Structure formats: structure tokens, C-alpha cells
Amino acid sequence: MIKCENIFKSFDGRTILDNISVEFESGKTNLIIGRSGSGKTVLLKTLVGLHEPDSGSVFYDDKNYTALSFAERKEVRRELGMIFQGGALLDSSTVYENVRLPLDMFTNRSSAEKDKRVKECLERVELSHAGHLYPSELSGGMIKRAAIARAIVLNPKYLFCDEPNSGLDPQTSIVIDNLIRDITVEYNITTIINTHDMNSVMEIGDKIVYIHQGKKWWEGTKDDILSADNQELNDFVFASAMAKRAKRSL
Amino acid sequence: MKIFVNFFAAIGRYIQLMGKVFSRPEKANIYYRRILIEIDALGINSMPLVAIISIFIGAVIALQMGITLESPFIPKFMIGYATRETMTLEFSSTVIAIILAGKVGSNIASEIGTMRITEQIDALEIMGVNSASYLILPKVVAAVLFFPLLALFSMMIGTVGGYIIAAFTGIVLPAEYVEGLHYYFIPFEITYSLIKMAVFAFIITSISAFYGYSPKGNSLEVGRASTRAVVTSSITIMIFNLILTQLMLT
């Protein structure tokens, strides 16, 4: 279980997160949605500890993550996987080396075992053929899949994804969404995804949290979202003409 | 006043970063592999540049000495002596270090800076890797080990440059030039030069890595970090050159 309580965060006097408290559901796909600049990425990075909250706490299974020392946090971080917006693969390493790095750093497995695990993960994301390639030689979708492989190689308990569909075409977005959803179920992990893609919301969202101007405005399920009585949320969800037509036909 | 505050704040951040860099590595064998890679990238790749600059400077020093020391009271072998002394005491350590601050320093700052803005450093942190140590320590160790060898290499190539110009122009007989190279040779001068170069290697890599590790924002920030790295490294080298000379030679 991951939850945050009364999170405040500001940069240079500008409030980005304003008293956010959320509990994310274990073993489910949790989505944080909102417009660009609403504070989604800052919230996600605060959850994983890349940003320190000005006040408030983040809990992993009742362990107060914000109160842990640097060394204790490292232990928790080994249970996290994260997919960054741009993939964040190490440019100087091949896909294979990128996926293998966490195994090399944190396990005492034999080289053959590590090799087997890397190949399993690459196969899972359908990149068996691309292990020898460098990130600069990959398409956007392949970068995201390689990042997923790296994120799951140590069997994490929690998976964080920062706009996994950004910059991808609609078909590839669906492939990535399905992959994340399937992995969440297969590995029984708690997944938290930042997105403003309504397709993702309707396809894979178990729990949805809507952030607006740094505040939590709404939370619920994908079934609730279409009938929610929240003007800001409705403006966001039904922003496109097609969505508006769909809403009218309901 | 603000300049002093910023200056001491930067020194504080630098010391903090060095504390992270020199904390116990997660896996020694991975660091060992990375040191070898960095020796190749930072050291061996710099050899052609060092060779070209040293051979021409050695030749020019010999030529200038030939012109300057045209007096019947000054023996010709002094050209070889002056070339050796200039190369050993100052050029092969200090001037080569300034050149390496430009080549290697800007490379380190821009490489690490790009990793910062493309979230590669965040990705390492999320994995539980001490990113400062993983990225910076191998560079510092590789430079401290290899740059003194570059200084030795520069001394040899520089004196050979002087010999070649002596042989071709006839400003001094090659035998006299070689006699000058042997004249009043103090082995400690080599030790002094190598110690200086080891200190300069630490300055170049650590300061450049510090500036590279810091930027937040865009590619413009990376460019600025790279420039600041070269300027600060060069000035620091000059200050430490004076301090080390005072400590070791007087």
C-alpha cells in the first residue's frame, strides 16, 4: 500500500502541491490525471523521493518513507521500478546493459542467472532482438518498452510511470498501456501512472485521482468518472469534441 | 556580499557531493570495470592531443632558447637543459592540465549534465544506486591514476620535439642538446610534476562533475555548466599550482 498525507510542495515560493492526501490501491493500476502543469509529475517524484515534500508524509506499507534515512530509503527504492517520461535509459549502455544494471548492482546471482533474467524481461516486452542496440537507435515505443523491462527486472512491488504514452502514436500507446496493465496483474504490483491520456484512463485505470492546480479535486474509478459531478474534471475529461459527443450520447 | 555567500554555498555543495562520491561503492567489480572504461575515455583518448601539443611546444621552446641564448658565454647545451626544465616543471603538468580542463572537463560536465536533464540520474537514484559515486568516482580515480602518465608522456614527447628541431635547424648539435637534457638533473622535479598532475586531475574531474551534476532545466543550462566547469577548474589549477610549488620547491 502506498499513501501520502497532507503533502505540500513549493518551488521558489510557488505552491505546486497543496495539501494532497491519497491512498493508492495495492495490486491495482492507479492513475493520476490532470492538465499539464497541474503538479502530477511533482507528486509522482515526491512519492518516490526524488522531491522532498515541504511538509506531509509518504507511506509504503505503513513505513514512513519521508522520515527514513538515506540508507533506509535505498532499501525501499530497490522495491520500486520507475518508467520516466523520456525513458531515461543510460545513453552509454545498450538495452541489455541497461536492463542488467540493477541485477549487477544489487544481486549476487551468477552471470548466467542474470543473463537469463534479462532475456526473460526483454522477451516480456518483445525486445529480444534489440538487446545490442543503444537508446539512440531505438524508436520511442522501444525506449518505453526497454524502460519497462529495466523497471521490472528486480520484481518490484511498486511501479511508477510518468506519462508513459507521451510522444507515442495511438497504437503504440495502447501497446504500452496493455503491457503495463498485464505486468501489474502478472507481478501483482501496485502501479501508479501519471497521464493526461483519456484512452489510458478508460482502458487501464482501476483508481483515478484528478489533480488540478496542485490540489486533489476528485478520486474514484473509471466507471465513476463519466458521471462525476465536478466541473473541472468534466472539462478535462470531455475536452475533445469526440468525447463531448460521447457524453451527449450517454 | 551575495557573491561570498554564493561562493561558500557552492563550496558546501561541492563538499557534500564529494562525501556522496567517496561513500562505499555498492559493487567494487562494477566500479573497477567503469574505471577501465574511463581511463580509455578520459586518458587514452587524450594522448593524441597531448602528443601534438607537446611536440610543437618542445620544438618552440628549443627554438626560442636557441635565439635567446645566443651568447658566447652561455654553452649551447643550455638549450636542452632549458627545454627539459620548462617541460618538466611547468608545461607537462600545469599547461597540459589546463588543456585537459578544456577537453576532459567540458566533456564530463556536459555528459553528466545531459544525464541530469534527461532524468538518467533520477533513474539511477530510483534503482537505489548512489548516482554520484557511480558516475563520478570512476572518472576521478581514472584521471588521478592516468593523468600523471600523460604528464610523463608529454615530457618525453616535448624533449623529443626539441631534439628534432635541434637536428633539423642546427641551432644546437644533437649531442649537446642531449647533454643539456642530462645536465643538473634533479629526479624530484619529475615527482613534483607528477604530484601536481595528480592534484590537477582531481580538480578537473571533481569540479567538472560538480557543475555537471547540478543543472536543472534545459540544454542551455548544460552549456553554461560546461563553461563554468572549465573556467573554475582552470582558475583552481592556477591557485593550486602556486600553493604546491611553494610547498614542494621552496
Residue with cell 586518458: B43
| Alpha helix segments (H runs only) across A188-239 | 198-204, 222-225, 231-237
CB distance B64 to B164 below 8 Å: no
Query: What's the pLDDT score for residue A241?
Result: 57
| Cα angle A79, A82, A87; round to 5 | 150
Say if the Cβ atoms of A78 and B128 lie within 8 Å. yes
* CB within 8 Å of B78: residues ≥ 6 apart: B65, B69, B180, B183
Tell which residue, A36, A63, A62, A45, has the closest CA to residue A7.
A45
CA distance B208 to B183: 39
Across the interface, whether the CB atoms of B127 and A45 are under 8 A apart is answered no
pLDDT at B195: 97
pLDDT in tens, B67-76: 888 888 889 9
Say what the pLDDT of residue A244 is. 62
**Cβ under 8 Å to A: B residues 12-51:** 26-27, 30
DSSP H helical ranges for chain B: 2-21, 28-38, 47-68, 78-86, 96-100, 106-117, 120-127, 131-169, 174-182, 187-213, 219-249
Taking the complete model, does pTM exceed 0.90, yes or no?
Answer: no
Taking each helix axis as running N to C, give the angle between helix B120-127 and helix B106-117, from 0 to 180 degrees, rounded to the nearest 10.
70
**What is the spatial distance between Cα A190 and Cα A1, in angstroms, rounded to a whole number?**
7
- pLDDT band for A247, please (50, 70, 90 cuts): low
**Tens-digit pLDDT profile for residues A89-117:** 999 999 999 999 999 988 889 999 999 99
Which residues between 84 and 113 in chain B have a beta carbon less than 8 angstroms from any beta carbon of chain A? none
Q: What one-character-per-residue DSSP string does B147-176 give?
A: HHHHHHHHHHHHHHHHHHHHHHH-SS-HHH
Task: Tell me which chain A residues have a C-beta less than 8 angstroms from the C-beta of B23.
Answer: none
Nearest CA in chain A to B38: A92
If pLDDT is split at 50, 70 and 90, which confidence band does A201 have? confident
Q: Which residues contact B13 (CB under 8 A, 6 or more apart)?
A: B210, B214
Strand order in the sheet with A14-24: A14-24, A2-11, A55-60, A63-64
User: How many CB atoms within 10 Å of residue A104?
Assistant: 17
Record: contact B123-A88, CB cut-off 8 A = yes
Task: Count contacts between A and B (CB, < 8 Å).
Answer: 57
Q: What residues of B are in contact with residue A75 (Cβ under 8 Å)?
A: 128
- pLDDT band at residue A236 using 50, 70 and 90 as cut-offs: confident
Distances (CA, A) of B117 to A22, A108, B29, B235: 29, 32, 28, 27
CB-based contact A77 B115, cutoff 8 Å:
no
Cα distance between residue A73 and residue B205, in whole Å: 28
Q: Is A246 on the interface with B (CB under 8 A)?
A: no
Is B125 close to A89, i.e. CB distance below 8 A?
no
Chain A partners within 8 Å of B122 (Cβ):
45, 50, 82, 84, 88
- Beta-carbon separation of B119 and A85 below 8 A: yes
User: Which pLDDT score, from 0 to 100, does residue A203 have?
Assistant: 82
So what's the pLDDT on residue A250? 61
A119, containing H or E segment: helix A111-124
DSSP string, A15-79: EEEEEEEEEEPTTSEEEEE--TTSSHHHHHHHHHTSS--SEEEEEETTEEGGGS-HHHHHHHHTT
Contact between A157 and A26 under an 8 Å Cβ cutoff? The reply is no
Band (pLDDT 50/70/90 cuts) for residue A221 is confident
> Are A48 and B126 a contacting pair at CB < 8 A?
yes
Chain A window 137-166: which residues touch B at a Cβ cutoff of 8 Å? 150, 160
Question: Among B32, B116, B127, which would you mutate to test the A interface (most chain A Cβ atoms within 10 Å of its Cβ)?
Answer: B127
Q: What angle do CA A233, A235, A239 make, to 5 degrees?
A: 125
User: Is the pLDDT score of B242 beyond 80?
Assistant: yes
CA distance B147 to chain A (A): 23
A28, pLDDT greater than 60: yes
Tell me the shortest Cα–Cα distance from A142 to chain B, in angstroms: 17
* Residue of B32, B108, B125, B126 to mutate for A, most A C-beta atoms under 10 A: B126
pLDDT digits (tens, 9 = 90+) for B143-194: 999 999 999 999 999 999 999 999 999 889 999 999 999 999 999 999 999 9
Residue type for position B91: F
Q: Average pLDDT in the A157-161 region? A: 93
Q: Which residues, 6+ apart, have CB-to-CB distance to B237 below 8 Å?
A: B94, B97, B98, B101, B200, B203, B204
SS3 state of residue B219: helix
Choosing among A72, A75, A85, A105, which should be mutated to test the B contact, i.e. which has the most B CBs within 10 A? A105
Asked whether A192 and A159 are in contact (CB, 8 A), the reply is yes
Average pLDDT over residues B76-97: 94
Cα separation, A84 vs A135, whole angstroms? 14
Please compute the mean of the pLDDT values over residues A41-70 and round it to a whole number: 91
Per the prediction, chain B carries an average pLDDT of: 93
DSSP state of A84: B
Is the Cβ pair B127, A78 closer than 8 Å?
A: yes
ipTM of model: 0.86
What is the pLDDT confidence band of residue A226, given thresholds at 50, 70 and 90? confident
Query: With an 8 Å Cβ cutoff, are B127 and A75 in contact?
Result: no
pLDDT in tens, A122-152: 999 999 999 999 999 999 999 999 999 999 9
Provide the β-strand partners of residue A210: A33, A218
Instruction: Note the pLDDT of residue A248.
Output: 65
Tell me which chain B residue has its CA closest to the CA of residue A153: B127
Most trustworthy range by pLDDT among A73-77, B73-77, B86-90, B123-127: B86-90
Partner B contacted by A68 (CB < 8 A): no
Q: Tell me the C-alpha distance between B30 and B201, whole Å.
A: 22
Q: Determine the Cα–Cα distance for residues B108 and B114; give it in Å rounded to an integer.
A: 10
Specify the 3-state DSSP secondary structure of A220.
strand
Please state, rounded to an integer, the average pLDDT across all residues of chain A: 89
B120-143: pLDDT as tens digits: 999 999 888 899 999 999 999 999
Task: Report whether pLDDT(A9) > 70.
Answer: yes
Across the interface, whether the CB atoms of B128 and A105 are under 8 A apart is answered yes
Whether B114 sits inside 8 A of A91 (CB atoms) is: yes
Do B183 and B82 form a contact (C-beta atoms < 8 A)? Answer: no
- For residue A19, the distance in angstroms to the closest alpha carbon of chain B comes to 24
Contact (CB<8Å) B120/A91: yes
For residue A82, the chain B residues in CB contact (below 8 A) are 122-123, 126
Interfacial A residues in 199-218 facing B (CB < 8 Å): none
Residue B123 forms contact with A (CB below 8 Å): yes
C-alpha cell at B106: 567540458
Contact B122 A84 (CB under 8 A): yes
Determine what percent of chain A is predicted with pLDDT higher than 90.
55
